[in-house]
Every structure is written in structure tokens, then in C-alpha cells.
Structure 1
Amino acid sequence: MATLVKTPSGTWKALIRKTGWPTVAKTFRTKRDAEDWSRRTEDEMVRGIYVQRSGSERMTLEAALKRYLSDITPTKKPTTQRGETSKAKKLIEHLGKYSLAALSAEIIAGYRDKRLNEPSRGGTISNNTVRLELALLSHLYTVAIQEWGLGLTFNPVLNIRKPSPGDGRDRRLSPEEERLLLAAVNRHSNPMLGWIVCIALETGMLSSEISSLRRPQVDLAKRVIRLSDTKNDGSRTVPLSKRATEVFKAAMDNPVRPIDCNLVFFGEPGKDKKRRPYAFTKIWGQLKKKLDLPDFRFHDLRHEAVSRLVEGGLSDQEVSAISGHKSMQMLKRYTHLRAEDLVSRLDKITRPATEVY
């Protein structure tokens, strides 16, 4: 039987000692609450299903996320680490004071709906942003259940409806936009900006893959780039067009490159005297604004490149080998063929209409 003791502050403490189970205690405002909890807990012990939940009741989501960012996030890629830090801030802002045990599917669904209606640049927060925040929260619960021993029995995120992924971006460059963009980046005082943009258009490589390139990865003789650490956690070899090969040759022969720097696209030394990849985000944003292309993102260059590969007649398997997309569904989201470009190809395969007399 449980022992109930009234504390000096007027609350009631329930203490349960049962052979084969750890001693558990909990404090309540009323004696009735203490009795109800004691009966329920002892019944679960008798049936062999009792789970000590004190850890999840004491740990707030804010504390859990800080532990996750300290223990789990550092094992992931740098870009993922930055993304998870940003997503954790939003989760803490809205749900940080709740304990892990108190967060229900209803509360999390309310967070989802509130975030989807929050204003953002050009509208509201995107479905995919909220999906990724919920994915982080869900994995936190998975780790807490499997590794942290907090007494959690289920993941409440699994019980709510996730926002739909939404349509993939289909922003393509018009010939005039491409002419203006390339002219602008090639006029920039640092030639690396123009080289990077051209390589993105020619190869479909991610900005992180381009900026982190080192000279041993570039094989101009065989006209390939060897990527060992990609977004999809696999290696791949990217073939180079004649134009891309010319650009890489110019970049590799950059006369201002320090002797001890292996980066293809390098920045100025930091306070620690180390050189890091060339940071072009700020100037890219300024050029877009100047050219009146506010809706065009650097990642859209990859989209444009992959679409051109498909339009050029390469198969899905060939394109995925170049771009690194593991899923044909994901590849499809990046390939938006211009209908007008397909007209001439249709003419080549369409048989002449049979005359009717």
C-alpha cells in the first residue's frame, strides 16, 4: 500500500514501495489526487506495465532540445546542424515550457496550425518549413524514448497530420534573365562569383558542393569532379561540359590563390588566420535586387541545370547520376520542361496525318 503524508506546505506526498520496483514518490495538491495516482500506479505495477515517467515530467522541451543539439546534432552535416539550430529556436519559442510528458498531439497540432498562419516574406510560413520543424521534434522523441530512459511510452508527433509538401519550385531563367545575370556576375570585381554561377548552371551542383571544392577533387584531364560528401550521404562523380571545364581551368589557374590553400574558391583569412570557402551570399542578394530578380534563388540554378539535362535528352537515370537525386520523385520536382521546347521534338516523332478522301 502507498504511504500518504501531508507536507508542512499543505500538499500531499504519495510514497510507493513495492518489491521488484523502484521506490516512487510524487507530491499533489489534494489527498484525493494522491490517492488516485497511488491506486493507478500500484495497479500498473501489479500488471507489469508501470513506466516511471518522472524524467519526462521534469524535463522541458527546451531542456530536451538543448540536450539534442549538444548530443545528436553535432553528428550531422554542418548545413543540417545550422538548420536544426534554427528550427529548435522556433520550437522552444512556442513549446519550450512544456514538459515532454505534457506535450500532447493536440498541443503539437495547435503549434502546426499557428506556424502555418504566421507571416513571412512574401506570404506565410511554408508547409515544408513546418514539416521539417515537426520532423526535428519527432526525432527528438524517438531519441528520448530509445536512448534517454525518460519513461516516455509514445511519440505524440506521430499522431498528427503533417502539412502537405506542396508543389516544388518551377522557377526557370528566361534567356534575357540569364544574359543579364551572367553579365552582372562576370563584371564583379572577384571573378570567382562568375565562375561559381556558371558552374552551378553547367553541372547542377549545390552551392555547398561548389564552395567546398578542393583542387584534388577536380580532374580536368578526365573532365570530372569527384564529390565524396554530398547532401544524400553518398559520393558521386560529376561530368563536366566543355564550358564547365574551361571555367574550372580558369579557377584552378587563379593567380591570386595562396600556395597553401587547396580550396578552389577561397575567401580572405579569418581572425584565426584560416581561409574558408568564398562567401558570396551577400553580393548574390545585392545583384538579384539590382537586376529585379527577387524571386530567383541560387538553388534555382540547380533546378535550371537539371531541367536542361532532361530537355537535352538524358534519361532519368543519367540525370540522377549527375545531380545526385536518389528518388525519381524528387528528380521530377526539379525538372519542369518548357512545353515550347518540346514542340520540335514532337514534330520529329509524330507521323504525318493520313489524308481522308
Structure 2
Amino acid sequence: MATLVKTPSGTWKAVIRKQGWPTSAKTFRTKRDAEDWARRTEDEMVRGVFIERAPSERMTFGTALDRYLAEVTPTKKETTQRAERLKAVSLRLFFGKYSLAAVNADLVARYRDHRLGEGKKPNTVRLELALASHLFTTAIREWRIGLVQNPVANIRKPSVGEGRDRRLSKEEERRLRKAVTAHSNPMLRWIFDVALETGMRSSEITGLTRGQIDLHRRIVRLSKTKNDSARTVPLTQHAKEVLAAALANPVRPKDCDLVFFGEPGRDGRRRPYNFNKAWLTIKSELGVSNLKFHDLRHEAVSRLVEGGLSDQEVAAISGHKSMQMLKRYTHLRAEDLVGRLDSLRKR
């Protein structure tokens, strides 16, 4: 049976002591509210479904987010860690002062609509919601924070869309190749060529070490990838020549194993070459609009398909786990298919 005590401030405190359950207490403005809570709580204990909600009512979303970033985020890849810290900024601004118990599906839906209304891309909002969802899942399953359900799981997520279909024209490729070749750092040209020849991600290219490259067998072994699946990438003759030149780079320090390396940081460590600023400058100077470096991966994968490789062969090279994802990265030019259609009629 619950004990009701009137506090000196005039509020009512309900205390429940039941065998087999930890002592639960909560303070209310009125005696009626305290009685109702005590009745519901005792009933949940009898039915074995009681959840101590006090921790979720005391912990704010901002505090939970800090704990997540300190405990969970560091277990992920460096690129994922950076991405999650960026996503956390907007989540903190919107939800930060709410208690975890106060964040419901309606509030999450308002956040979704607010971000979309700001002009954020649906996929950006979807990824932010994914971070929030994993925070709540972690709080429920691991921190035992006293939440009944994950509020993010009960809302409609923004549609991913059909993906980008940006292809690189021959003229754009010619101009870009000329510009990166003229750049003072030859690593920019080598990275550009490897991306178009292999379809590797920029992080996979810049993270390459000398031991991953086998020029004799014309392969690159990738152990750290976006989807955590190691794969072996075959090299075209041109890709082999480009990587051979990169490996022979005369300015590489003897103690540096990176193929594409940057200047030493404050800690003295050399990290992968960050070519983003140079790439953006060249694009701006050439007036090449709406082209991301990642689009070179799209271009490379599309060329593999156009070259006659099967979906399974292309997936083995690109690392796509599903044919649906491969389809989103593959965009065939209709004009390039005209000749193949004509050749079929001649058979």
C-alpha cells in the first residue's frame, strides 16, 4: 500500500514499498494526483510491467546526447564520429532542454518538418533522425533509463529519393583533368584518376597504405570500408600506372606508410591528404556546377556497367551489398545505349 505524505511546501509525496520491487516515490501538487499515480504504479507492479520512469524524467535530451557522444560515438569509425558530432548540433538545439520522457512522436515529427522547412535535404533529416533513434534505443536497452518506447520509431521518415544521376561529360572530364594536372600537388591528379578508374570512395583512396597495393597482381586490398566489408579492387592498366607513380613519390617521408599523405599535425602525426579545398577551388574556377567528388564514383561504376560487366562483377568491385543500392549508383546514358540497340537488331 502506498504512503502519502504532505510536504512542508504543501505538495504531496507518494511512496510505494512493495516486496520484490525497489522503493518508488514521486511528488505531486495535489493529493488526488498522488493517489492516482500510486494506484497505477501498484497495478503495474502486480502485472509485472512497471518501469521506473524517474530517470527519463530527470535526464534531459542534451545530457543523454553528451553521454552518447562520449560512450557510443567513439566506438565507430572516424568519419562516422565526425558526422555524428555535426548531426548532434541541430538535435541539441531543438531537443536539448526536453527531458527524455517529454520527447514524444509529435515532437519528433515537428523536428522533421522544421528541418525540411529549413530547406534541408530529406536524406540529411533522415540521418539526423537515425542518430536520435539510436540514442533512444541505447537509453532503453543499455542505460535502462526508464522509457517505454522509442518515439522516433513511430513517425514517418523522409523519403530517401532516387539518388543523384549526375554524370561527368567528356568536356568536363577534360577540363578537370587539365586543372588537377596543373595543380602544385601531384597527389590531387592521382586521386582524381584512381577515383575514375576504380570507383573507390574518397576516404578509401586517401586512406590507402603501401601494403594494400599489389602492382604485380594489379589489385588493391581494402580492409576498412564504409560497410565494414573488406574487398579487393582490380586495377586497370592506367590505375596501376597512376598508383605506381604515387608509390614512387620522391617527397614521401621514410616513416610515412600512407600513399596520399598530408602535413604533420600538432601531434606530429601525418594523416591522409585533405584535397577538399583544392578540389572546391578548381570546380569554382572552372564553373563546374553540381558536381561532387563522390559523383566520380557514380561515374566509374556506370562505366563498368557500360563496359559490359555484370551486376555481380560491378558489385564485387564497388562494394555495394545490394543490387538496389548498386542501381542507385548506376546511371546509363541513353545515347550510349543507342549503338548497342542497333547492334542487337543486326544479329
TM-score range, shorter chain: over 0.9
Task: Give, as a single letter, the amino acid of the residue that structure 1 aligns with 2:288.
Answer: L
Task: Give, as a single letter, the amino acid of the residue that structure 2 aligns with 1:348.
Answer: S
Matches within 5 A, 1:1-357: 1-118=1-118, 124-351=119-346
Q: Over residues 3-37 of structure 1, what are the superposed CA-to-partner deviations in whole Å (9 max), with x where a residue is unaligned?
A: 22222222221111122221111111222221211
Q: Over residues 125-145 of structure 1, what are the superposed CA-to-partner deviations in whole Å (9 max), with x where a residue is unaligned?
A: 011111111111111121111
Secondary structure of 1:98's aligned partner: coil
Secondary structure of 1:101's aligned partner: helix
2 CA distance for matches of 1:270 and 1:142?
37
Q: Over residues 176-201 of structure 1, what are the superposed CA-to-partner deviations in whole Å (9 max), with x where a residue is unaligned?
A: 11110010000000100011011101
Q: Over residues 173-227 of structure 1, what are the superposed CA-to-partner deviations in whole Å (9 max), with x where a residue is unaligned?
A: 1111111001000000010001101110110000000001000111111111110
- Report the CA distance between 1:67 and its aligned residue: 1.0
Task: Give, as a single letter, the amino acid of the residue that structure 1 aligns with 2:109.
Answer: A
2 CA distance for matches of 1:230 and 1:282?
23
2 CA distance for matches of 1:282 and 1:179?
20
- Report the CA distance between 1:110 and its aligned residue: 1.0
Task: Give, as a single letter, the amino acid of the residue that structure 1 aligns with 2:253.
Answer: P
- Report the CA distance between 1:294 and its aligned residue: 3.4
- Report the CA distance between 1:259 and its aligned residue: 1.0
Secondary structure of 2:4's aligned partner: strand
2 CA distance for matches of 1:42 and 1:272?
58
2 CA distance for matches of 1:274 and 1:151?
44
4+ residue runs over 4 A deviation: none
Question: What runs of 5+ residues in structure 2 fail to find an aligned partner?
Answer: none
Task: Give, as a single letter, the amino acid of the residue that structure 2 aligns with 1:296.
Answer: L
1 CA distance for matches of 2:67 and 2:88?
11
Task: Give, as a single letter, the amino acid of the residue that structure 1 aligns with 2:40.
Answer: R
1 CA distance for matches of 2:46 and 2:167?
65
Q: Over residues 242-277 of structure 1, what are the superposed CA-to-partner deviations in whole Å (9 max), with x where a residue is unaligned?
A: 111111111011111111111101111122222111
Segment of structure 1 superposing worse, 132-141 or 321-330: 132-141
Task: Give, as a single letter, the amino acid of the residue that structure 2 aligns with 1:234.
Answer: S
Tell me the number of residue pairs that the alignment of Structure 1 and Structure 2 aligns. Answer: 347
Segment of structure 1 superposing worse, 79-88 or 10-19: 10-19
- Report the CA distance between 1:351 and its aligned residue: 4.8
- Report the CA distance between 1:153 and its aligned residue: 2.1
Task: Give, as a single letter, the amino acid of the residue that structure 2 aligns with 1:342.
Answer: L
Equivalent pairs: percent with the same residue?
Answer: 69
RMSD, aligned α-carbons: 1.2
2 CA distance for matches of 1:272 and 1:19?
57
Question: What runs of 5+ residues in structure 1 fail to find an aligned partner?
Answer: 119-123, 353-357
1 CA distance for matches of 2:31 and 2:2?
12
- Report the CA distance between 1:103 and its aligned residue: 1.0
Segment of structure 1 superposing worse, 37-46 or 235-244: 37-46
Compute the TM-score of the two structures, normalised by the length of structure 1.
0.95
Q: Over residues 91-136 of structure 1, what are the superposed CA-to-partner deviations in whole Å (9 max), with x where a residue is unaligned?
A: 1110111111111111111111111111xxxxx1011111111111
Task: Give, as a single letter, the amino acid of the residue that structure 2 aligns with 1:107.
Answer: L
Task: Give, as a single letter, the amino acid of the residue that structure 2 aligns with 1:130.
Answer: V
Compute the TM-score of the two structures, normalised by the length of structure 2.
0.97
Task: Give, as a single letter, the amino acid of the residue that structure 2 aligns with 1:226.
Answer: R
Segment of structure 1 superposing worse, 247-256 or 35-44: 35-44
Segment of structure 1 superposing worse, 149-158 or 319-328: 149-158
Task: Give, as a single letter, the amino acid of the residue that structure 1 aligns with 2:72.
Answer: I
2 CA distance for matches of 1:344 and 1:284?
34
1 CA distance for matches of 2:73 and 2:320?
24
